[in-house]
Structure formats: structure tokens, C-alpha cells
Amino acid sequence: MFWRVTFELLRGLGSCAELFALTLAFALPLGLVIAFGLMSKWRPFRNLRTPWLRKWRPISWLTNIIVWIVRGTPLMLQLIIIFYGPGIWFGNNLWAFSSGRMSACVLAFVINYACYFSVIYRGGIEGVPQGQREAGEVLGMTKGQIFRKITLLQMVKRIVPPMSNEIITLVKDTSLARIIAITELIKAGESFMKSSGITWPLFYTAVFYLLFVGVLTILFNSLEKKLSYFR
Amino acid sequence: MSILEVQNVRKNFGSTAVLNDISFSLNEGETIAIIGSSGSGKTTLLRCLNFLEKPSGGKILVDGNVIFDAANRAARQEKEIRRQRLNFGMVFQSFNLFPQYTALQNVTLAAELLAQERPDFKQKKKELLAEITERGKKLLADVGLQDRMMQYPHQLSGGQQQRVAIARALSLSPRILCFDEPTSALDPELTGEVLRVIRGLAEKKTTMIIVTHEMAFARDVADLVLFMDAGVVVEEGPAKDTIERPKTERLRQFLSRYAEGEA
Ligand SMILES: Nc1ncnc2c1ncn2[C@@H]1O[C@H](COP(=O)(O)OP(=O)(O)OP(=O)(O)O)[C@@H](O)[C@H]1O
Ligand SMILES: [Mg+2]
């Protein structure tokens, strides 16, 4: 029995890991794009009379609203809307293909986590002293060179602790996937309760989460250590 | 002909005028010291020269070529500004070294990025980078840091950091080197080593603009002095004369405050 349970839970862990990896792969870069949106200084109406229009930064305004909505509503609700929404409102289920459930889940997670990441990125970028950028500017560097060669690594160093929190939360949030019937860890463990009337597999799932998070913690600690060569 | 000509430069932040009709010129190889009380606009002036602020009015000429003209509203391209700003080097009060790079990398980074834009970079990569590294090492040796090239900024003292910053500012061979209170963030016992480096540059006839509160240094090292108050040039002239025998009451008062402070 133990080996059967372990095998089933490993399959559940596989779904978790897939969702986790795909979410990170897309949400990490997308979050940076959203962060640039949040910080956008573009003011298309700065030459007009109306004071509030002059100050209006539409890109920043729009991304702020998106981030507010995404962070202000439960991920579970977003997941339900993305998966069932198209079928209910437009009468066509976008997600009817074979890996459709996982795709819908990844989409919901990417949007949600990208918004959380974006705020962390923004904090990291704004935490780099203005003098760093100015020093690059007076040396004739372009905006892109300044970001890549000066700001980026300093930002990464600043965001490792908040990012590690967020990413560890992501590990556990993967359990939400069950509401659109993906067999992740907890659902896999729980299924034994129904089929064989045993509860220990459910608690056994904690070991898998702990191992997953343990590995991540080691990775984050070593990254932090790697970046400790400068201040 | 003067290397730098600043004509009627004005700068407003919102409705407050911070610089009002600033004009001066500087000959090649000369050093001008800018003095004045806190808030008089010295930093803003240097930032205007380095395109970190956009003047609200006036003109700036280098070697007789207009590099900035507020009346010419044609949108300046970023590329053009980048080229023009290489006329100036800047040493900041707070050093602003890049913490993730060694002293040597701080000095060579900008030159390497510039070299990458050359059409022949791919073919001559090795020689170009070797050349840049050699030059970086020489610049650091010139400021007395030959033993510190591989150290990171946080491993260096403030005085050493500022000397790296000076070497970095020289790395692209600017025509004019600007200093904004280069020793103000330093412990008193560390100011000497930085001032010595700047004195050495003056002896080598580097064209420099130095904002400073070190009156004795301004008097001894600079050729000219410019006294600013509330965004205007109140008095200017040969450094030694002007500081020893100020013509205006305002400069006299300003200097006497220093005499008290130093006594
Ligand atoms: N970005 C800004 N926005 C608004 N006001 C500014 C800005 N930068 C400077 N000022 C104002 O401009 C005036 C001149 O400032 P500046 O920093 O040029 O003075 P300073 O002569 O360098 O003074 P210090 O000796 O203290 O360095 C000050 O009153 C300051 O408050
Ligand atoms: Mg200042």
C-alpha cells in the first residue's frame, strides 16, 4: 500500500511541479514587463491645460488597475473564471483540448503571479539609488545598457527575500488546481480516503511539500550567498 | 578660444527659479572653482552641463559648437545627447560607484560598452578589450590604487572610492571634468588624498569645474572662482585675488563665515 500511495502522490507532485515551473517560466518575465508599466512616466497630454490630464500617465494608471484587480481577488475565483468563463459566456469551451485544464490553470497562475512579482520588481528597481543610473548616464550609457549592466543585478539582490516568499507560496497554491479537476498532490492523497478509507496518505502529502520547499530554500540561500560579494 | 562657454543658462523647477542667467567661460587647461552657500544652485549647474537636468533657457557651447540651446526646440535625440555628454565627466559627491563591479571594472565598463558599438568590434574584440583594460589599470595607478584594482567598492575607504570615481570619470577622456563637492562625504582625514589627486590633474592641465567648500583648496588650485548666491553669479575672477580680496559684500560675508568655521 505504501508504495502505491507514494507512486500516486509522485504523480500528483508531477502536476504540481509542472504548474510551478510553467508559472515561473512565464510569470517572471511578464512580471518585469508589468513592472515597467507600473513605472511608466509616459504623459501624452503634458502639453495640455487641464492639470490632471497633464499629469495623467495612462500606462501606469492602467497597469495599476490591472494589478489591483488581480491582487484584490482570490486566485481561486480567477481560476474558475478563466476555465469556465469562456464556456458559460461565449458558449465555447476554449479549454476542450487534451491538456486544456493544465493550460487554463497555467494562464490563471501566470497572470496572478506576474502581478505579485511586478510589485516586487518595482520595489527592487526603485530601491536602486538614482545616483547609480545617473552615473551610467554621464558615462554615455543607453537606458538599456544602464538597466542590464547596472540596475538589474542590484535589483535581483534586493528582491531575493520577497521573491522567495512568493515562490514558496506558489508551491502551496498549486493545490488550487484541483478545483478544475487537476489531480495535484492533495487531491491525489485525498482520493485514498474515498477509495480505501485511509487518511494517512493525505498527511503524507505534507512530506512532499516540505521536500519541494526545502530544495527551493537551499537554492535561494545559495543565490543569496552568491550575491553577497557586493553590497 | 574658450573650450566651454555657458550663456545665460536658466533653470526653473516648477515656478522656482534655481539658476538665473548664469554665464561664464573656461579656457582649455583651466580649473574653475564654484563656491556658494547651500541651495545656491551649484549642483544644479553641474547637472545642467551633464544633461542630468534640462536647462529652461540659455546655451552651452563646447569648442565653439553649440551643444545645447534651449531656444532650439527641435527634439533632441537620445543618441545625440549621449554623444554630447561625453564632452563632460562627472564626479559625484556620493561617489556612485557600481557596487557589483571591481574598481577596475568600474573604470572600464563604459569604455567596453562604447567599444561594442564599433563596427569592427567583432574582429578586433581581443585587442580592443585588452587596450581598455590596460588604460583602466593606468588610470587607477595614476590615482594611487594599483593595489586595489580587484576590490569591490564596499572593500574600499571613502577616499579610495572617490579616487576610483575620478579614474572612472576620466575613462572616456572627457574634455571637461566636473566635480560636485568631491570631498564633502568624506571623513576629514580622507579629504587630503582626494584633493591631492585633483591637484595633480590641475598640474597636468586638465580642464575642470569644481564645486567645493574647501576655500583654501579653491584658492590654491583653481585658476578662476565663481561665487554663486541664490541662482546668480555674484562675483567671478582669478581665484587667488577673488578669495583674498573679494569685491562684493556678499562674498566677503560668505568667506568670513568660512574663516570662522575653520578657526
Ligand atoms: N529636482 C528638484 N526639484 C525642485 N527643486 C530642486 C530640485 N533640485 C534642486 N532644487 C532646489 O534648487 C536649489 C538649488 O539646489 P542645488 O542642489 O543646486 O544647490 P547647491 O548649491 O548644490 O547646494 P549644496 O551646497 O547644499 O549642495 C535648492 O533650493 C533646491 O531645493
Ligand atoms: Mg550641491
Q: Which DSSP string corresponds to A177-217?
A: GGGGT---HHHHHHHHHHHH---HHHHHHHHHHHHHHHHHH
User: Residue B259: what pLDDT?
Assistant: 74
Over range B187-199, report the average pLDDT. 94
**Distance, CA of B198 to CA of B163 (rounded, Å):** 9
Q: CB-based contact (8 Å) between B16 and chain A? A: no
Residue from B11, B42, B47 to probe ligand 1 pocket by mutation (most atoms less than 8 Å from CB): B42
A162-220 pLDDT, tens digit each? 999 999 999 999 999 999 988 889 999 889 988 888 989 999 999 999 999 999 999 99
A53-68 pLDDT, tens digit each? 888 999 999 999 999 9
Q: CB-based contact (8 Å) between B105 and chain A? A: no
Task: Identify the contact set of chain A against chain B, taking CB-CB distances under 8 A.
Answer: 129, 131-132, 134-143, 145, 149-150, 153-154, 157, 229-231
Instruction: Measure CA of the first residue to CA of the last residue in chain B; give whole Å.
Output: 41
Handedness of CA B81, B86, B88, B91 (dihedral sign): positive
User: Residue B69: what pLDDT?
Assistant: 87
- Determine whether the interchain pair A129/B113 forms a contact, defined as Cβ–Cβ distance below 8 Å: no
Average pLDDT, chain A: 94
**Distance, CA of B159 to CA of B136 (rounded, Å):** 18
**Distance, CA of A8 to CA of A35 (rounded, Å):** 39
User: Residue A93: what pLDDT?
Assistant: 84
- In the CATH scheme, what is the code of domain A19-184? 1.10.3720.10
Q: Is the pLDDT of residue B262 over 60?
A: no
Q: Would you say the CB of residue B19 lies under 6 angstroms from ligand 1?
A: no
Q: Is the pLDDT of residue B73 over 70?
A: no
Locate A71 and state its grid cell.
491582487
Q: CB-based contact (8 Å) between B17 and chain A? A: no
Residue B98 C-alpha from the chain's centroid: 18
- Determine whether the interchain pair B92/A131 forms a contact, defined as Cβ–Cβ distance below 8 Å: yes
User: Residue A135: what pLDDT?
Assistant: 97
Q: At what angle do helices A152-173 and A200-226 cross, to 10 degrees?
A: 180
The upper half-sphere exposure of residue A210, i.e. CA atoms within 13 Å in the direction of its Cβ, equals 5
Tally C-beta pairs within 8 A across A and B: 63
Task: Return the residue in B48, B67, B91, B100 with the most chain A beta carbons within 10 A, the one to mutate for interface testing.
Answer: B100
- pTM of this structure: 0.91
Distance between Cα B46 and ligand 1 center (Å): 11
User: Residue B75: what pLDDT?
Assistant: 59
**Distance, CA of A105 to CA of A180 (rounded, Å):** 8
B62-71 pLDDT, tens digit each? 999 888 888 8
Distance between Cα B38 and ligand 2 center (Å): 7
- Determine whether the interchain pair B110/A141 forms a contact, defined as Cβ–Cβ distance below 8 Å: yes
Q: Would you say the CB of residue B15 lies under 6 angstroms from ligand 1?
A: no
Over range A88-116, report the average pLDDT. 92
User: Residue B74: what pLDDT?
Assistant: 62
- Determine whether the interchain pair B82/A150 forms a contact, defined as Cβ–Cβ distance below 8 Å: no
pLDDT band at B242 (very low <50, low <70, confident <90, very high): very high
Average pLDDT, chain B: 93
Nearest residue (CA) to ligand 1, atom 1: B13
Q: Would you say the CB of residue B36 lies under 6 angstroms from ligand 1?
A: yes
User: Residue A97: what pLDDT?
Assistant: 87
| In chain A, where the domains are located | 19-184
Residues of chain A in contact with residue B99, where contact means CB-CB under 8 angstroms, are: 154, 230-231
Nearest residue (CA) to ligand 1, atom 7: B13
Which ligand ends up closest to the CA of A130? 1
ipTM: 0.92
Backbone angles phi, psi at A35, to 5 degrees: -60, -40
B212-224 pLDDT, tens digit each? 999 999 999 999 9
User: Residue A214: what pLDDT?
Assistant: 97
Q: Is the pLDDT of residue B263 over 60?
A: no
Query: Which of A3-7, A17-21, A125-129 is predicted with the least confidence, judged by mean pLDDT?
Result: A3-7
pLDDT band at B195 (very low <50, low <70, confident <90, very high): very high
User: Residue B239: what pLDDT?
Assistant: 93
Q: Would you say the CB of residue B38 lies under 6 angstroms from ligand 1?
A: yes
Residues of chain A in contact with residue B92, where contact means CB-CB under 8 angstroms, are: 131, 134-135
Q: Is A230 helix (H, G, I), strand (E, B) or coil?
A: coil
**Distance, CA of B195 to CA of B205 (rounded, Å):** 15
Percent of chain B with pLDDT over 70: 97
